[in-house]
Structure 1
Amino acid sequence: MKSPRPRFPLSAPGKAPKKGSLTTKQALLTLLFAMLISGVAGSIELLSHATNMRQETEQRITQQLAVVNGAAAEAAFQLNPDLAHQIAYGLFSDNEVAWVSIRDDFGRSLAEFDSPERADSTWLSQYLFGDILHHQTALAYYIGSDMPEAIVGEIELTLAEGYLTQQFLARIYTVVGVSILEAFILSMLVVAFFHLFITRPLLKVHAAITQTDPNRPGQWPKPALRGHQHDELGHLVDSLDHLLKAFQQGLEQRDQLHHLSNIDGLTGVANRRQFDEFYQHQWRLAQQMQQPLSVIFIDIDNFKEFNDHYGHTMGDDTLRAVAKALNQCIDPARDLFARYGGEEFVCVLPGQDHDDAINIANCLREAVLSLAIPHAFSSTHSDLTVSMGVASMSPGFFISAEALIEHADQHLYHAKRLGRNRVETRKRPA
């Protein structure tokens, strides 16, 4: 009886890992690293933006004060509030300025504008713009070529802290949004690249392994990975192919050894060991399934005299010829014909009742007679013959496995005592 093959350690059907799990993990990890890098790069870029915005604001206010300085000095010198009002309003109309004042050299206000609502100061606005919010410039008036410039007043203004913070936050949102979009696009490109060149080939290898027949691992559907013939993935597939073929060779060698251990070396039919395994299994099965089971013991008549006079070489050839003829009378897909020892053979007939066994026994006897092997030194017949004992059990008449064998053996010896070349049994199942 053929022993079961060991199960190959493959994924069980219905429990295969999800195809996209590796891609999902890879995508999340790539996105995480991309966001981390983007966050660091964005922080550096925000610091750069803050510095640039401070410099741009200071430069712009300084330029504006330089542009209006002459006109404001003229208004202060002439004590002209209308002109001062126009200049101050021009500065104040910019949302960037929260308060502006033009004064003469006695500190009297010629024009002043103040925003009615000012945003509350925050730690961020103070950190970014706290030291550049207040600007104060003296108004120098040129009186004549022979006179030095005179300080005739001053312009003082305060920048809108909330407006500057809003502008900065607007830049932050733009920078952060662009950074996130860049990180997402970069991560998707990386994921697509890795999926195309690494993850998908690995999934192909996994799919090929899960589709491998455990009984024929050497015939696994080896995947063809384009572009990976000479890299690590290609080496992995080649190593798996070598391993599975080596495993297949090991299974074949084991089966061959198992086959050889169950085959009689001389006749090529099943040996005593295989008979014992097969018979015990079929006897238990017959009891469980309530089915009949028959056994035929076969012995070549006067074979000792045949060997003594024709020689052992001729005796071995005769054993092979007899075994071949007898083996053709049974169904090898269901029954078993084995060499029991010496010149004795045995047939195990699962599912065959007493009458079926008698018919097969007669076929066996006729098969040997048809060989017409001369046996001039036989005390009973001129040609080689066989004697047989048949024992059967059927539902309702179950006996032990040993008793069934013993009955068949007793019937065989009874056939020999009655003149050989015959089949002996009982009418009633044992």
Structure 2
Amino acid sequence: MISPRPRFPLSAPVTAPKKGSLTTKQALLTLLIALLISSVAGSIELLSHATNMRQEVQLRVAQQLAIVNGAAAEAAFQLNPDLAHQIAYGLFSDDEVAWVSIRDDFGRALAEFNTPEQAESTWLSQRLFGDILHHQTALLYYMGSDMPEAIVGEIELVLSEGYLTQQFLARIYAVVGFSILEAFILSILVIAFFHVFITRPLLKVHAAIAQTDPNRPGHWPKPALRGHLHDELGHLVDSLDHLLKAFQQGLEQRDQLHHLSNMDGLTGVANRRHFDEFYKQHWYLAQQTQQPLSVIFIDIDNFKKFNDHYGHAMGDETLRAVANALNQCIDPTRDLLARYGGEEFVCVLPGQDHDDAVDVAHCLREAVLSLAIPHAFSSAHSDLTVSMGVASMSAGVLVSAEALIEHADQHLYRAKRLGRNRVETRKRPA
């Protein structure tokens, strides 16, 4: 009896991507890398924005002070508060300025504007703009071509730390938002690319392996991966194909060797070793399931005389012919015919009771007679004959495996004593 083939380890059926799947891991890793890259790029961009914003603010304030310097100097020279007020108010009306003052050369304020409530200073605002908030410049008045410009006062202003920080944060939000959107789009593109060119082909290979019959691994549905014939994926599929075919060849060789180890080399039926395994297994099964089991011992009558007078070559041919004839009376998918030794054969009939076994025994005897092999030296018949002993056990009467074999053997010898070419048994199961 051929033992079942070992299960070939295969993957589970392919399902939709889930947590822990290759697609999910790839997507998460791609998104993480994209976010990391965008974070680094965004940080560099934020530093660049901070530097540019500082330069813009300083340049803008310098330009504004340069523009109003002449008018503010005129107001300071003439001690004209109204004109100073207009100039200071023009500077203060910009939300960027928190405090502005125009003074004469004695330090007296001609005009001054101040934001009543200032936002609290933070480490970020101090880090970014703390050193560029305060601006002060002298007011130069042109006295004449033969005299140098005279300092007639000064203009001083302080920028709004909260306003500048707010403007910078607005830029941060825009940059971060754009970076996140950019990372998401990049991730989608990379995920789609890897899914089409790497993940999907791997899933095809996985599906093909999952669909492989464990008993026929060499006939697996080898996937055709277009565009991957000469790359690593193509080599992977080819390697799997060679491996599975080699495994298939190994299974076939193992089965062939196993079959040969269980087969009688002369007659082609099961040998004694196979009989012992088969009988033991089915005796236990019959005992557990309360099913009948029958055994028939078969012996070729006067076979020693046949060999002595017709020769061993003819004897071997006769053994093969008898085995073939006996095999025609049983169902080889359920029953077993084995060569027990020399000219003896044995039949194991699982699931068949005493009456069924007797019918099979008569079929066996008639099958051998139908061969019409001459045996001039037989004490029973002019042609070759067989004697048989039948023993059965049923659900009502269970006997040990050894006892059942012994009963069949005893009935066989009884058939020989009673003249051969007959079937002997007991009406009541043994």
- Indicate the TM-score class for this superposition, using the shorter chain for normalisation: over 0.9
CA distance in structure 2 between the aligned counterparts of 1:279 and 1:8, rounded to whole angstroms: 29
In 1, distance between residues paired with 2:16 and 2:106?
A: 90
What secondary structure is seen at the aligned counterpart in 2 of 1:371? Answer: coil
What residue is the counterpart of 2:205 in the other structure? 205
Deviation digits for residues 276-333 of structure 1 (CA, Å, limit 9, x no counterpart)? 1111112122222222221111111111111112111111111111111111011112
- Pairwise CA distance, 1:206: 2.1
Rate the CA distance shift 1:152–1:16 in 2: closer, same or farther, 3 A.
Answer: closer
Aligned position for 2:7: 7
In 2: Cα distance, 1:20 partner to 1:121 partner:
48
Q: Distance in 1 between matches of 2:102 and 2:255?
A: 108
Q: 1:334 maps to what in 2?
A: 334
Deviates most, 379-388 or 46-55: 379-388
Secondary structure of the structure 2 residue equivalent to 1:5: coil
Name the counterpart of 1:102: 102
* Structure 1 residues 224 and 314: alpha-carbon distance in aligned structure 2, compared to 1, 3 A threshold: same
TM-score, normalised relative to structure 1: 0.95
> What is the CA-CA distance between 1:373 and the residue it aligns to?
1.0
- Give the % identical residues: 87
Match of 1:216 in 2: 216
How far, CA to CA, are the matches of 1:409 and 1:18 in structure 2? 65
The alignment covers a number of residue pairs equal to 430
Amino acid at match of 1:30: T
Structure-2 residue corresponding to 1:85 = 85
Residue in structure 1 matched with residue 295 of structure 2 by the alignment: 295
Decide whether the 8 Å contact of 2:17 with 2:23 is kept in 1. Answer: no
3-state secondary structure, aligned to 2:370? helix
After TM superposition, give the deviation of residue 207 of structure 1 in Å.
2.4
Deviation >6 Å, runs of 4+: 12-17
Aligned to 1:367: 367
The alpha-carbon distance between structure 1 residues 428 and 346, as it changes in their structure 2 partners (threshold 3 A), is same
Structure 2 CA distance, aligned partners of 1:17 and 1:398?
57
1:383 maps to amino acid: D
The letter for the 2-side match of 1:148 is P
SS of the equivalent of 2:139 reads: strand
Q: In the alignment, what sits opposite 1:284?
A: 284
Q: How does 1:413-428 map to 2 (within 5 A)?
A: 413-428=413-428
1:252 counterpart residue number = 252
Q: Distance in 2 between matches of 1:17 and 1:180?
A: 24
State whether structure 2 residue 162 is matched by structure 1 residue 162.
yes
Aligned-pair CA distance for 1:5: 1.6
Alpha-carbon distance in structure 2 between the residues aligned to 1:196 and 1:14:
16
Whether 2:58 is the aligned partner of 1:25: answer no
CA distance in 1, matches of 2:256, 2:374: 37
| Deviation larger for 342-351 or 193-202 | 193-202
Q: Give the stretch that moved more between structures: 214-223 or 292-301.
A: 214-223
| Residue 380 (str. 1) matches residue 380 (str. 2) | yes
Shift of 1:20: 6.4
Q: CA RMSD in A?
A: 1.9
Contact between 1:95 and 1:163, CA under 8 Å: does it hold in 2?
Answer: yes
| Residues 272 and 341 in structure 1, CA contact (< 8 A), matched pair in contact too | yes
State the match for 1:179 in structure 2: 179
Asked whether the equivalents of residues 14 and 206 of structure 2 are also in contact (C-alpha less than 8 Å), the reply is: no
CA distance in 2, matches of 1:216, 1:87: 96
Q: Secondary structure at the match of 2:157?
A: strand
How far has the Cα of 1:62 moved from its partner? 0.7
- 2: CA distance, partners of 1:407 / 1:154: 133
Which one-letter code corresponds to 1:351 in the other structure? G
Alignment check: 8 A CA contact 1:99 1:158 kept: yes
- Relative distance call for 1:199 and 1:421 in structure 2 (3 A) is same
User: Contact 1:11/1:210 (CA < 8 Å) preserved in 2?
Assistant: yes
State how far apart, in whole Å, the 2-side matches of 1:89 and 1:294 are: 121
In structure 2, distance between residues paired with 1:99 and 1:380: 139
CA offsets 1:107-134 (integer angstroms, 9 cap, x no match): 2222111111211222222221122111
Q: What is residue 274 of structure 1 aligned with on the other side?
A: 274
Counterpart for residue 143 of structure 2 = 143
Q: Name 1:128's counterpart in structure 2.
A: 128
Q: CA separation of 1:16/1:366 partners in 2, compared to 1, >3 Å: closer, same or farther?
A: farther
- What secondary structure sits across from 1:139 in the alignment? strand
Q: Per-residue deviation at 1:376?
A: 2.0
User: In 2, are the aligned partners of 1:19 and 1:203 still within 8 Å (CA)?
Assistant: no
Q: Residues 14 and 33 of structure 1: is their aligned pair in 2 closer, same or farther, counting only changes over 3 Å?
A: closer
Give how far 1:366 is off: 1.0
Cα distance change on mapping 1:127 and 1:336 into 2, 3 Å:
same
Question: TM-score, normalising length from structure 2?
Answer: 0.95
1:43 match: 43
**Shift, 1:12, TM fit:** 6.3
Q: Residues 391 and 405 of structure 1 are in contact (CA less than 8 Å); yes or no, is this contact kept in structure 2?
A: yes
- Would the aligned equivalents of 1:365 and 1:385 in 2 still touch at CA under 8 Å? yes
- Whole-Å separation in 2 of the counterparts to 1:298 and 1:22: 64
CA distance in 2, matches of 1:231, 1:38: 31
TM-fit CA distance, 1:372: 0.9
Structure 1 residue 320 corresponds to structure 2 residue 341: no
C-alpha deviation, 1:11, in angstroms: 4.1
Give 5+ residue unaligned stretches, structure 1: none
Q: CA deviation at 1:202?
A: 2.0
> How far apart are the structure 2 equivalents of 1:15 and 1:319?
58
Separation of aligned partners in 1, 2:11 and 2:98: 73
* Superimposed CA distance per residue, residues 362-387 of structure 1 (whole angstroms, 9 cap, x where no aligned partner): 11111111111111232332111111
Whether 2:367 is the aligned partner of 1:391: answer: no
Q: Distance in 1 between matches of 2:202 and 2:186?
A: 23
